[in-house]
Amino acid sequence: MEFQKILIANRGEIAVRIIRACREMGIGTVAVYSEADRDSLHVRLADEAYCIGPTASKDSYLNLTNIMSVATLTECDAIHPGYGFLAENANFAEICDSCNIAFIGPSPDAISRMGDKSVAKQTMKEADVPIIPGSDGLIEDVDDAVAIARDIGYPVIIKATAGGGGKGIRIAEDEDSLVQQITMAQQEAEKNFGNAGVYLEKYLIGMKHVEIQIIADKHGNAVHLFERDCSIQRRRQKLIEEAPCPVLSPELRERMGQAAVRAALAVDYSGAGTLEFLLGPDGNFYFMEMNTRIQVEHPVTEMITGIDLIKEMISVAEGKPLSFRQEDVQINGWSIECRINAEDPERNFMPSPGQIGFYLPPGGPGVRVDSGAYPGYMISPHYDSMIAKLIVWGATREEAFATMKRALSEFAIEGIRTTIPFHLKLLNHPKVIQGNFDIKFLEEHDLN
Amino acid sequence: MFKLSEIKELIKLVDQTSVQELELENEGARLLIRKPGKTEVVNIQSAPITHTYTQPAIAPTAPQTGAAPAEQLSSSAAVPVSTPADNLHKIVSPMVGTFYRASSPDNPAYVQVGDRVGEKTVVCILEAMKLMNELEAEVRGEIVEVLVENGQLVEYGQPLFLVKPE
């Protein structure tokens, strides 16, 4: 079957990204927006657009009822949830199914199995994917936690099973610290995620965050599209991503890729997904979590493989087999992405919402900008602070670095503070240039 | 001194054209009308944006099923075009759904133009996903205008009725 019309249940740059893919495929687009997003680019670009609620996300972009109403009343064939919001909401996926509207993503079952972090770990263990040493499921009580921690060794990390995106995480250095934090962690989890379940893991040092992109169809085919190194993070939020990973050997790449494919097949996955791993300096890798959606940093994978992931997601949701096999995909060149946020790096990344005045994104060979911004656009304080994703491609890592620095220095955004100067500093840091930075890099190094 | 009617006329004129700023001086009185947002450098980047905006085929805020595109455009462009009398109260939709004037096709409309309504008066049905929601007026007054058609898809915040409040 071919989709005639897709509703994009998201906003900002990813909504623009999805609309672009639909346009190229000849599919009609329906945008939804909150009152605050009335003048957004995704609203202007779509064929139809409907206001679905007031500013607050819970009343608009998370408003299942209003979104489904628009989808059914405008006769959409499918909904693309983007990332965040309802993208990993198994309930929403089920409601789409019962309204006969295709959810462009995996099945509700795959979403639940991977969404519950401790269930996901168990599933991976059974699929022979290496996992981080830790508790076998959720912690019952403090004594349970202490016993497990004695077994795996300190320091340990306490994680909320319903958490994600770097939230709901605490470190315990020793037994006293663990005893103190376990109850607090459970209460926090209940408050923030509606689920008090927490589990323990060994806290590993010197790790890189290396994730594998996979894509699977509904005919049992799953292919990995290599890795992305996302170790440069501030408070667990990614700032810069690159593909491929500068320290991965071809042999390790193959092993990680195959592990990711096994994981996808273990949950009958379909659509695009990402397996996040921690990679140690000793070459051991451990499963962290699976994101059952398209990721923010998907463009770097697109740049090195030449595959349009959004179009492929749509095609898979239509029931078609993948348009390529594992042997057809190859790494070509190097790609880096910088997330440009409306934050002031000189004031501890204080959010800097406001109206964009002069706005000139960079251009030239090897430069791609994914953004919802335009001159006069109001970056509102109500949603995430991302203005644009600046992505570059180079034949080698050195060339990609040179192009990124050139592009960053051309990128003119006036009226608000941005993280562009910070990215330039990052790209000039010897450890970043060398490539062996780990996830604690920004915590341990002052860039000023 | 500028008369109120003159000022209203000037505002309307500026609004309907691409004029960004208008300054007038007359017998010691100075009037400045300036549009917010767009700055000097508009000519470089905004061309692609205005292109999409003015293309007749693309009406970003007009639903396919709507029979009155003019109302939709004005309600979602946040420019108050309907100002015969600014003290009229708008009953707006609190949800996305299909607007029905009566509880069923066989029944008479809940309200007509000229009807008096109280806060609890049901003025219409908004249907979503097979659930019928009765919308109350939440104002005391007289229905002056019905802004949407029976069976039309309405979005969040869309004006449905104009009421002259008591």
Per-position DSSP letters for A251-286, written without gaps between them: HHHHHHHHHHHHHHHHTT--EEEEEEEEE-TTS-EE
CATH 3.30.470.20 corresponds to the domain A208-444: yes
pLDDT at B19: 82
**Chain segment B41-66, per-residue pLDDT in tens:** 333 333 333 333 333 333 334 333 33
pLDDT at B37: 57
pLDDT (mean) for A394-417? 98
pLDDT band at residue A165 using 50, 70 and 90 as cut-offs: low
- Note the pTM of the prediction, 2 decimals: 0.81
pLDDT at A220: 96
- Which of A180-189, A372-381, B60-69, B105-114 is least confident? B60-69
Please count the CA atoms within 13 angstroms of the CA of A48 that sit on its side-chain side: 26
pLDDT at B71: 35
User: Could you tell me which residues of chain A have a Cβ less than 8 Å from any Cβ in chain B?
Assistant: 31, 35, 38, 41, 43-54, 60, 65-70, 72-74, 99, 355, 357-360, 374-376
Percent of chain A at pLDDT > 70 equals: 99
Q: Identify the CA nearest to A208 among candidates A229, A225, A236.
A: A229
**Chain segment A70-119, per-residue pLDDT in tens:** 999 999 999 999 999 999 999 999 999 999 999 999 999 999 999 888 88
pLDDT at A196: 87
pLDDT at B84: 53
- A360 vs B31: which has the higher pLDDT: A360
Active-site entry in A293, A339, A368, A417: A293
CATH superfamily of A133-202: ATP-grasp fold, A domain (3.30.1490.20)
Domain range annotation of chain A: 5-104, 133-202, 208-444
Domains and CATH numbers, chain B: 4-54 (no CATH), 82-165 (2.40.50.100)
pLDDT (mean) for A274-285? 95
Q: Identify the CA nearest to A18 among candidates A41, A51, A50.
A: A41
* pLDDT above 50 (res A172): yes
* Interface confidence: ipTM more than 0.85: no
CB-count exposure of residue A403 (10 Å: 0-12, 13-18, 19+): buried
Percent of chain B at pLDDT > 90 equals: 44
* pLDDT above 60 (res A270): yes
pLDDT (mean) for A12-16? 98
Q: Which residue has the tokens 């749509």?
A: A314
| Cα of A74 to nearest chain B Cα, Å | 7
pLDDT at A46: 98
CATH 1.20.1250.20 corresponds to the domain A5-104: no
User: Could you tell me which residues of chain B have a Cβ less than 8 Å from any Cβ in chain A?
Assistant: 37-39, 41-42, 44-46, 49, 52-53, 58, 60-65, 76-78, 95-98, 128-129, 153, 155-158
* pLDDT above 80 (res B73): no
